[in-house]
Amino acid sequence: MRNARLAPVLLSLLVLSPALPAAAQRNHLARTPPMGWNSWNHFAHRVNDRVIREAADAMVASGMRAAGYQYVNIDDTWEGQRDAQGNIQPNAKFPDMKALADYVHSKGLKLGIYSSPGPRTCAGFAGSYQHEQQDANTYAQWGIDYLKYDWCSASRVYRPDQMQEVYRKMALALLATHRPIVYSLCQYGWQKVWTWGASVGGNLWRTTGDINDTWRRMSQIGFNQSDLAPYAGPGHWNDPDMLEVGNGGMTDTEYRTHFSLWAILAAPLIAGNDLAHMTPATLAILTNRDVIAVDQDPLGKQGTRLSQDGTSEVWGKPLKGGAWAVGLFNRGEQPASITVRWPQLQLAGARHVRDLWAHKNLGRVRDQFTATVAPHGVVMIRVSR
């Protein structure tokens, strides 16, 4: 039979494909971009056991869990000394990591942690250098579900051309634990990580240096991601860094732009604010289900810039079944009239349009859609097939 002869050929093609690791070396996680929270952007060094429990509590009480958020991630500064056997221990801020994981799991959530392939993390705490499998085993014993692995001091012990093998080493160590652990690469987009991040077992990889809570930095990062779209897909995502929504350095209009842009980019939605103390406006942004559905669309296509006219930009993301999400972005300082034309979406005629921030169906709209967009603002719509 023809198919029977082809099967081994196809199989070997799959296994040898340079873009993705063999099935046995994949964790099959993150079929849509991971959603959760991370301590760094707001708490930095001030993270501790109580902060993590409060974040988990707030994620449930606020309705964020119901909206799809799942991971509660401890970033840098949790690490203590290694014991006599070399096992990593948390420092005094985290008295019992296993108990903390149990608590987070009891809330129906998952717990993430942070390390570096180097001897030291970026904040100078113990990294996983020469303890990779041992640390992976420890994380699995604690009940960890997500690892952010941050290059930091690894440049002191590895050559640049060893980076891929270094990241693969931890991917294999995590797989060997048999616990499903999402693997987040953090090396600031060096060496075009998007071209190899999936092949070394990454579920996501940072594409840039650190974000901060300013319009300037957020927009500089977000609006520069269009070319990376081909590298994202189910199981492996570009990560333009964690959200700053609600941290106070931008207006709510700018945070809506930030959140909309990340959704169109199919970016991980990792909140970075103080969940226990957020304004109703912040919560409304983070739990906008219409926008979250764009990010989490099962087709898993990252959106791109479709057109640009000065500081006005039209971005589009194809959705499953042929619909599109469109962001009309105004990066300028004056209100702007911005238009998306259906042929830009390979569509024609009258299409149903929904406004994803007004949460309103606008009925059937012919040929094109125009909106007046506030300075630094966005109008985001869904256009039916």
Element (H, E) at 82: strand 79-82
Binding residues for ligand GLA (CB under 6 A):
40, 75-76, 121-123, 150, 186, 210
Closer to ligand GLA by CB, 210 or 252: give it: 210
**Residue 47 token pair:** 């993270």
Query: Residue 52 corresponds to which amino acid?
Result: I
Catalytic residue, candidates 57, 210, 252, 355: 210
Spatial distance between the Cα atoms of 174 and 135, rounded to a whole number of angstroms: 9
User: Minimum distance from CB of 101 to ligand GLA (Å)?
Assistant: 20
User: What's the farthest any 2 CA atoms get from each other in the chain?
Assistant: 71
210 flagged as catalytic: yes
Q: Are 310 and 332 in contact (CB under 8 A)?
A: yes
Closer to ligand GLA by CB, 112 or 235: give it: 112
Closer to ligand GLA by CB, 40 or 369: give it: 40
User: Minimum distance from CB of 256 to ligand GLA (Å)?
Assistant: 23
Spatial distance between the Cα atoms of 294 and 243, rounded to a whole number of angstroms: 16
Q: What is the full DSSP assignment across 9-42?
A: HHHHHHHH-SSS--GGG-----SS--EEEESHHH
Closer to ligand GLA by CB, 206 or 256: give it: 206
Spatial distance between the Cα atoms of 323 and 61, rounded to a whole number of angstroms: 33
Closer to ligand GLA by CB, 122 or 286: give it: 122
User: Minimum distance from CB of 286 to ligand GLA (Å)?
Assistant: 19
Q: What are phi and psi of 50, to 5 degrees?
A: -65, -40
**Residue 215 token pair:** 């319009």
Spatial distance between the Cα atoms of 251 and 299, rounded to a whole number of angstroms: 31
For tokens 């570096």, what's the residue? 116
Catalytic residue, candidates 76, 150, 241, 274: 150
User: Minimum distance from CB of 115 to ligand GLA (Å)?
Assistant: 10
User: Minimum distance from CB of 160 to ligand GLA (Å)?
Assistant: 18
Which are the catalytic amino acids? 150, 210
